[in-house]
Amino acid sequence: MERREQAVVRVPSLDGVTRERFLRDVYPRREPVVLKGMELGPCTTKWTVDYLSEAAGSKEVKIHVSAVPQMDFLSKNFVYRTLPFDVFVRRAAEVKHEDYFLSEDEKYYLRSVGEDVRKDVADIRKQFPGLAEDVQIPEYFEKEQFFSSVFRISSAGLQLWTHYDVMDNFLIQVTGRKRVVLYSPRDVPYLYLSGTKSEVLDIDNPDFEKYPLFVKAKRYQCYLEAGDVLFIPAMWFHNVISEEFGVALNVFWKHLPAECYDKSDTYGNKDPTAASRAIQILDRALKTLEELPAEYRDFYARRMVLRIQEKAYTNDYG
Ligand SMILES: O=C(O)CCC(=O)C(=O)O
């Protein structure tokens, strides 16, 4: 039988990259890079389960709870629950639980949010001021570009679905080991998107009958160790497995002028307003094509695709 495998690329690692070198040599390439040996402050040694529980106390957090390791956003095989932060951290760090919601080996995931999710962005300095003091965020962008800093705490084995965000991102792995698989924005035709997420959940054993084009997506892969920082440029898809219980903080910042982003976006994943408007106009154009019989609709749809390719694709997108 024909062997079907994606091309695999190792995400490069760079040691001790200064702000100046990052901005000159790394950032303009718009490709993921693992930055090693960054000065992150005392968090990498201090943030044990006991310390985190003590420092953040019983502040309530909303978490994902899943009976299986692979969370499925389509079938919603996980539930949202609220726990005091200290209880959550202890449960996320253990494998079998005495107290649980779904099953004794359920898994936990925190993606921190602002005070009011509809209005406020996640900012560790506001929601977890005691812990924020322990982290030195690499300031490789201007202060005004800062968007959010998001706490991500995960049980061992939990897998977060493939998705993209619209901001540039430093994923700071404070403790624990993690595998990250990334796909380039140019591979979007092969990723079977539903909104900002890929419908291909099992990226290691994909169903090629259901997702035949997925084999064409080039798989960029890296392992993050405690203290590593992964630069994820905006629109790069990423899929994350926490191989161990781990604590991460990710920082989103604006790459485009501030007015390009959707003001109601508190997660950093709403498409820029011009993109949303263009998609709405396209939907109207598709509705208009329905006025034609199938043969004509097909012909004019193909012509429209050609026009989009000719006018809007950049040269190096292949
Ligand atoms: O590390 C994680 O748990 C997920 C990271 C992520 O999705 C992000 O930084 O946007």
Domains (range + CATH), the chain: 8-260 (2.60.120.650), 273-317 (no CATH)
User: Which two three-digit tokens encode residue 198?
Assistant: 């890929």
Which residue type is seen at 191? Answer: L
280-301 confidence digits (pLDDT tens): 999 999 999 999 999 999 999 9
**Site of tokens 């695999």:** 8
pTM above 0.85, yes or no: yes
Nearest to 72 by CA among 273, 311, 237, 239: 239
Q: In ligand 1, which atom is closest to the CA atom of 169? A: 9
Measured in angstroms, how far is the CA atom of residue 250 from the centroid of ligand 1? 7
pLDDT tens string, the chain, 318 residues long: the values are: 556 889 999 999 999 999 999 999 999 999 999 999 999 999 999 999 999 999 999 999 999 999 999 999 999 999 999 999 999 999 999 999 999 999 999 999 999 999 998 899 999 999 999 999 999 999 999 999 999 999 999 999 999 999 999 999 999 999 999 999 999 999 999 999 999 999 999 999 999 999 999 999 999 999 999 999 999 999 999 999 999 999 999 999 999 999 999 999 999 999 999 999 999 999 999 999 999 999 999 999 999 999 999 999 986 554
Q: Which residues contact 147 (CB under 8 A, 6 or more apart)?
A: 121, 167, 252, 253, 254, 268
User: Ligand 1 site: residues with CB under 6 angstroms?
Assistant: 152, 154, 160, 165, 169, 171, 238, 240, 248, 250
User: Which two three-digit tokens encode residue 87?
Assistant: 């209880």
Task: Judge residue 65's burial from the number of C-beta atoms within 10 Å of its C-beta, 0-12 exposed, 13-18 middle, 19 or more buried.
Answer: buried
Q: In ligand 1, which atom is closest to the CA atom of 173? A: 1
Q: In ligand 1, which atom is closest to the CA atom of 242? A: 3
